[in-house]
Structure 1
Amino acid sequence: MFILISFPTDLFAQSSKDKDNYTYQVREEKGDLNNDRKMDKITVKMDTVDKTRPLRLQIFLSQPNGKLNLDVSSTKIIEPQYPAEKQGEFNGYQIPDFFIEKGILQMWSEIKSGNITYDFKYNDGNFELINVKKLTNNATKGYTDENTIFTETEFNLVTGIRTETDEISGSDKALKVRKKRVLIRPLPKIQDFKFSDKELY
């Protein structure tokens, strides 16, 4: 007797979609992130199946039993290597570097004509963005000097003070310093942070 058994086609599609394809590890850093004097860990892994090559940041915090527990997982914080909007072209930037220094998780990324560093601090169960430092060069800033103009931006999100300093390459003297107060409350959390947020700072 022949029995035809049918399965919903979307069941297999869902199963395939849910499969973890973030298998290629490109970054790993260890250090104490929550001041418990135990080693925590962060990893960045790439999905090698998706043609955009998305990346996932995961933060693992140490537990009293010595094991590591997944605390944060985000696929929004790092731009895919081949964004869909670029129709298969490389985004032009290397994969961000991560560092753990004095309990601060630092993310260093390349941006157009420079780089940007984000500092995240563990507070009350969340990793909050507390400081942003950006360095860019722009020779069309309005100055007549032929040397490259560098602009260093430091944004302390805790105090709300944002400082921009223009300098000429090779000079110790600032051309111009601009300060303003910008309060962002609540402080951005790392799980909500998107790579496109760099435009905000």
Structure 2
Amino acid sequence: MKNYIVLSAISFLFGFSLLGQNKTDLEKSKLFEKVKNTHAYRESYVQKTDTSFLKNKNNYTYQVREEFGDLNRDGKMDKLTVKMDTLDETNPLRLEIFLSQPTGKLSLAVCSDKIIEPQYPAEKLGKYSGYQIPDFIIEKGILKMWSEIKGGNITYHFKYNRGNFELIYVEKLTNNATKSYVDENTIFTETKFDLVTGLRTDTRDKLGSAKVLDVRKKRVLIRPLPKIQDMKFSDKDLY
């Protein structure tokens, strides 16, 4: 490309000299230098633009969630944010957790782009996921993440332990409705899974009924406990 532009400039000057024999060599030299400088400026501009684009490839700049609370039980306020990349057509979301330091400053402890589903997943070909962005609550040192799922919702409970946020408890509520509404025949299933003890309890009942249909208990041990930075939004199907 460089050679092409320089050759074009030379051709231009050569043609110019044929058409205007009155131009002095000094004038031609100045014109040639002007063309080279213009090319150098354009090349520099493109390079800077390309570099800027690469640096800002992940533009998680639009904040949609912010929560404060003591997560590591040191008596100081920690911070959680969820930000969206609005330049990416899938609108991915990034979870970040900042822990307070002895200096009073906040330090990034967790960063995950996987645990929250993009608003317009690639597999849905540009269509909305159908689920709102999860809510987060910090309560008594426990980080709770509430998310919508098909036919209900799921809540993860995370606890800070030795530098990691581990999944210790899962609450899940689903129903078997096949239409856009529930009625007296709709069966709800409530799942409570204590990952620390491994006890999982599934309770089924009908809407408006005081009688429980059935309760099922089983023990499922997961070791090591899942860490928040390793979890994906599709993990909701595992619990």
Structure 1 and Structure 2 fold alike (TM over 0.5): yes
Among 3, 16, 36, the alignment partner of 2:53 is 16
Q: Give the Cα separation in 2 of the matches to 1:116 and 1:146.
A: 23
2:135 pairs with 1:97: yes
The equivalent of 2:12 in structure 1 is none
- Offset at residue 146 of structure 1 (A): 4.6
Among 116, 119, 122, the alignment partner of 1:78 is 116
Q: Give the Cα separation in 2 of the matches to 1:10 and 1:23.
A: 24
Q: Which runs of 4+ in 1 moved over 6 A?
A: 3-7, 9-12
Give the 5 Å matches for 1:51-200. 51-139=89-177, 146-200=184-238
Q: Give the Cα separation in 2 of the matches to 1:178 and 1:14.
A: 57
Question: CA distance change for structure 1 residues 147 and 186 in 2, over 3 Å: closer, same or farther?
Answer: same
Gaps of at least 5 residues in structure 1 are: none
3-state secondary structure, aligned to 1:154: strand
Structure with max Cα Rg: 2
Q: Give the Cα separation in 1 of the matches to 2:187 and 2:55.
A: 48
Q: Percent identity?
A: 72
Q: Between Structure 1 and Structure 2, which shows a larger proportion of strand residues?
A: 1
TM-score scaled by length of structure 2: 0.76
What is the number of residues matched between the two proteins?
Answer: 196
Say which structure, 1 or 2, has more relative contact order (CA 8 Å, 6+ apart).
1
- Offset at residue 80 of structure 1 (A): 0.3
Q: Give the Cα separation in 2 of the matches to 1:53 and 1:17.
A: 18
3-state secondary structure, aligned to 2:131: coil
**Contact conserved, 2:184 with 2:208, CA < 8 A, in 1?**
no
3-state secondary structure, aligned to 1:89: coil
Q: Give the Cα separation in 2 of the matches to 1:22 and 1:51.
A: 12
- Offset at residue 148 of structure 1 (A): 1.6
Q: Give the Cα separation in 1 of the matches to 2:60 and 2:184.
A: 46
Q: Give the Cα separation in 1 of the matches to 2:47 and 2:153.
A: 43
TM-score scaled by length of structure 1: 0.90
Q: Give the Cα separation in 2 of the matches to 1:36 and 1:193.
A: 26
3-state secondary structure, aligned to 1:191: helix
Residue type at the aligned position of 1:108:
W
Deviations 1:22-62 (A, max 9, x none): 11110000000000000000000000100100000000000
